[in-house]
A and B are shown apart, each in its own frame.
Chain A
C-alpha cells in the first residue's frame, strides 16, 4: 500500500474558511461544464431537470385545461395524444428516474459518508453529458413529428407508426446510460469510499435509499436499453420479434418494457424514502425508530420490485397462472413499504416535532404515499384490476406515488439541503404557504380522479362523457392550485439565491456529516479533515449531553441544538504507528 503522508499546514484552514468554497474556488462557464466536483454536477443536473420538470408540468396544465370540459376546448385529439405522451416520457424518463439520485444523491451522498468525491468523478460528469444527449434526441423527436404512443411504446403501434418514435426510443436508450453511470458510481462509492468509522450500520438512511436505488438502476436499465434497440430494429428492419403481423409477440414487448419500467418505479420512490427518513429524524429531534428495518426494507423492495412487473399486464393476454403469481408477489411489496411507514410514524411519536417547511413536505408525503400505496395494492388485485385497468384510477394511483411520493419528497429534500447547496435560506413563510398549496392542490387534482376511474373514466382520452364533467372540472381547478404552489417555489427559490439570508453551517441541528463537519457552503473537497465517525447517524442524545438541556425545553423551538462535529480521522502516520504497535 502506498503511504500518503504529508503535513497539514494549519494556516491553510483559516484561508479556506471564509473565502473559498466549491462555488467560487474556480469560476467561468468552463469550470462548470468540465467540473468533476460531485456538488457542481448535482447542480448541473438540478438546472437541467428543473427545465424538464417545468416543460412537462406545463404540458400537464394544458392537458387539464383540455379536460376541463367535455368536447374540444383548447386542443384537438391528435395534439392531446402527443401532449400526454410527452408529459409521460419527460416526467418518467427524463425527470423522475434521474431526479433525486442525480441532484441530491450527487450533492449529498459523498458528504454523508465522509468522502471527498464519488468514486468515478469523470464518469459522473459523463453521466450528465449523456443525459443531455438524450434530451437533445428528445427534441429531435419533437421536431420530426412528435410521439403519440404513450410513454409505454406498446407494439405494434409504436413499431409501425412513423413520426419521432425512432428518435424518442434512441433518446431513451441513450438516457439510460446516464442512469447506469450514476448507479454504478454510487454503488462503488458506498462500498469503497466511506470515511473511517462509517460502518454499514452508521450509514444515514438516505444513503441506504440511494444504494438500493442504484442496485435497481444497474440491474434494470440495461433491459430497457436492449428493448429500445429491438424496437428500433423492429421499426427499421422489421425483425418480427414484437410485431404480430410479422409473427412476433406484442406481449413479449410488454414483458421487456415492464421488466425495466416496474423496477423504475422503485428507482423513483426508493430515494424518496431515504429523504423522508432524514427529514423525519431531524425534525422530530429523535433517533429514527427501527433503523435496520428501514435500511433493509429498502433493499427488500429493490429486490422484490423485480418480481412483479407482470401486474401491469393483467389484461394483456398473458397466461392466467403468471397473472396469479404476479398478483401474489405484488401484495408482498406492501410489507416492506408498510414497515417503513410504521417506523416513520413511530419516530414521530414523542418526538419534538419542528414544523419547518421540509417537515411539512415529509408529513404530506406520509399521507399521500399511504394513499398511493393502498390504491396500489388495490390495482394489484387481479380481479379488481380488470375493472380498473387503463382508467383514471390507475392514473391517480401512480400520481399519488410519483408526484405525491417522489416529487413531494424531492421538494422536501431540496428545501432541507437548500442552505447547504446555495448557502442561503429560503423564505420560511412562503415555503410553508407553498407546501400548503402543493398539498391541497395535489389532492384536489388527483382525488377526484380516483373517483372518476372507479366509475369507468378511461385514461388517455381527450374527450369524455357528460357525467364525468363535474369531477374533471374539479381536477382542473386543483391543477391550477398545484401549479401556483410550484411556481411560488420557483419564485422564492430564485429570489433567495440573490437576497436570501445567509445560512449557518447547520440550520436544522441535523446530525449527519454534511451538516456537522462541512462549512456552510461546502469546501471544494467537502471536508477540511476527513471525519472519524464514532456514532450512529441520528444520535441527537449526544448533542443533549454536550449542550445540557436534554428535554428540549431549555431552548426555544426555532433554535435547534447543534450536534458536535465528528472528530478528524488520524493521519496515516498515526495509523501506521498504531498498526505496528
Chain B
C-alpha cells in the first residue's frame, strides 16, 4: 500500500499540463480515481449500516412473531415482487454495461445503457406505486392508520404484530424507494453529461461511482425481496 502514493510535483499554480479533470491537490489521475473509488466504497458501507438498522428491527419482530410475519407477508403480491426483482437486476446489468462501454470510449452505447437503467428504475417505481396503492385501498397503512379491511386482508385486523410488519415493510421499501429516486436523478444527470461528451476512457469516475451506488440499491433489494415477500 505504500506504493499508492506517488511523488508530488512541486507546488506552482497554473501553467502545467494537467488534464482538465485533475484537481490540484492530487498528483495523478490514478490517485484521484482510486481516492474517489475508495471514498465511494466507504460511503456504500455507511448506506449498508443505515439499512442494517431496519434489518435489525425486522429480525427482532420476526423472531417474536413468526406466524404473524408469515401471514402478513402472504398478503404482499409475490408476482409484482418477483417482476421488480428482475427489473432491478436487469438495471444493474445495464449500468454495468454502460461502464463497460465508456471504458472503451463508446459514448453512444454508454448513454444508451444509462437511459435503459433510468427506464428500468422508472418501471420499478411504477410497480411500487401499484403495490402501495393496492395496500392503501385496503387500509394497510404504516403506523396508527393501520386498519385492514377487504377479503384478502381482514384477518390481519386482530393480529398483534401485523402493524409492525407493515410499518417495517413501508419504512424499508420507502427508504429503498427514496434511494431509487435519488439514483434516477443521478443517473439522469450522468447520462446527460455523457451525452454532452464529458466522459471518456481517460475520465469516467462519475459513471463508475454512480454504477457502484446503483448496484448497492440492487443488493439491498436482493435481501428485501425474500425477507418481505417470500418467507
Interface positions of A (Cβ within 8 A of B):
1-9, 12, 114-117, 119-121, 123, 180, 183-185, 187-188, 191-196, 198-200, 218-223, 225-227, 229-230, 233, 237-241, 246-249, 252, 255-256, 523, 525, 527-530, 532, 568-572, 574-575
B105 to chain A, nearest CB (A): 17
B43 to chain A, nearest CB (A): 6
B34 touches A192 (CB 8 A): yes
**Alpha-carbon distance A1/B23, docked complex (angstroms):** 15
Find the residue from B10, B34, B42, B61 having the highest chain A CB count within 10 A. Answer: B10
A192 touches B171 (CB 8 A): no
Known contacts A218-B45, A233-B143, A223 near B9 by CB under 8 Å = no
Residue of A nearest to B202 (CB): A2
Contacts of B168 in A (CB 8 A): 241
Determine which of B35, B46, B54 lies in contact with A193 in the assembled complex, contact meaning CB atoms within 8 Å.
Answer: B35
Contacts of A192 in B (CB 8 A): 4-5, 31, 34-35, 38
B187 to chain A, nearest CB (A): 21
**Alpha-carbon distance A523/B11, docked complex (angstroms):** 10
Q: 26 A-B residue contacts at CB 8 Å?
A: A1-B28, A2-B29, A3-B17, A4-B16, A4-B18, A7-B12, A9-B12, A119-B35, A123-B39, A180-B46, A184-B42, A200-B2, A218-B45, A221-B46, A222-B46, A223-B52, A226-B54, A229-B175, A233-B171, A239-B143, A241-B167, A529-B10, A568-B10, A569-B8, A574-B7, A575-B7
**Alpha-carbon distance A199/B3, docked complex (angstroms):** 9
Determine which of B17, B50, B175 lies in contact with A4 in the assembled complex, contact meaning CB atoms within 8 Å.
Answer: B17
Interface of chain B: mostly helix, strand, loop or mixed: helix
Binds A, one of B91-99, B125-133, B156-164, B222-230: B156-164
**Alpha-carbon distance A377/B205, docked complex (angstroms):** 48
B39 touches A188 (CB 8 A): yes
B17 touches A237 (CB 8 A): no
A572 touches B19 (CB 8 A): no
Contacts of A223 in B (CB 8 A): 49-50, 52-53
**Alpha-carbon distance A240/B142, docked complex (angstroms):** 9
Known contacts A2-B18, A239-B143, A246-B163, A256 near B53 by CB under 8 Å = yes
Find the residue from B4, B18, B23 having the highest chain A CB count within 10 A. Answer: B23
A239 touches B142 (CB 8 A): yes
A490 to chain B, nearest CB (A): 33
A6 touches B16 (CB 8 A): yes
Residue of A nearest to B161 (CB): A247
Known contacts A239-B167, A241-B168, A246-B163, A4 near B9 by CB under 8 Å = yes
Contacts of A119 in B (CB 8 A): 35, 39
**Alpha-carbon distance A579/B112, docked complex (angstroms):** 41
B164 touches A240 (CB 8 A): yes
Known contacts A188-B39, A529-B11, A193 near B5 by CB under 8 Å = yes
**Alpha-carbon distance A198/B2, docked complex (angstroms):** 7
B46 touches A116 (CB 8 A): no
Contacts of B25 in A (CB 8 A): 115-117, 121, 193, 525
Q: How many A-B contacts are there with CB distance less than 8 Å?
A: 185
A6 touches B15 (CB 8 A): yes
Contacts of A570 in B (CB 8 A): 7
Contacts of A1 in B (CB 8 A): 6, 28-30
**Alpha-carbon distance A219/B19, docked complex (angstroms):** 35
B20 to chain A, nearest CB (A): 11
B151 within 8 A of A: no
B171 touches A530 (CB 8 A): no
B27 touches A248 (CB 8 A): no
A195 touches B12 (CB 8 A): no
Residue of B nearest to A576 (CB): B7
Contacts of A183 in B (CB 8 A): 42
Determine which of A185, A256, A572 lies in contact with B7 in the assembled complex, contact meaning CB atoms within 8 Å.
Answer: A572
B89 within 8 A of A: no
A116 touches B7 (CB 8 A): no
Contact with A along B167-189 (1 / 0, CB 8 A): 11001000100000000000000
Contacts of A115 in B (CB 8 A): 25
**Alpha-carbon distance A568/B47, docked complex (angstroms):** 40
B79 within 8 A of A: no
Contacts of B160 in A (CB 8 A): 247
Contacts of B38 in A (CB 8 A): 187-188, 191-192
Known contacts A121-B25, A240-B164, A246-B163, A191 near B7 by CB under 8 Å = no
Contacts of A529 in B (CB 8 A): 10-11
B49 touches A222 (CB 8 A): yes
B6 touches A226 (CB 8 A): no
Determine which of A114, A185, A218, A230 lies in contact with B46 in the assembled complex, contact meaning CB atoms within 8 Å.
Answer: A218
Given contacts A115-B25, A187-B38, A569-B7, 7 further A-B contacts (CB under 8 A): A8-B11, A116-B25, A191-B38, A222-B49, A230-B171, A237-B167, A530-B7
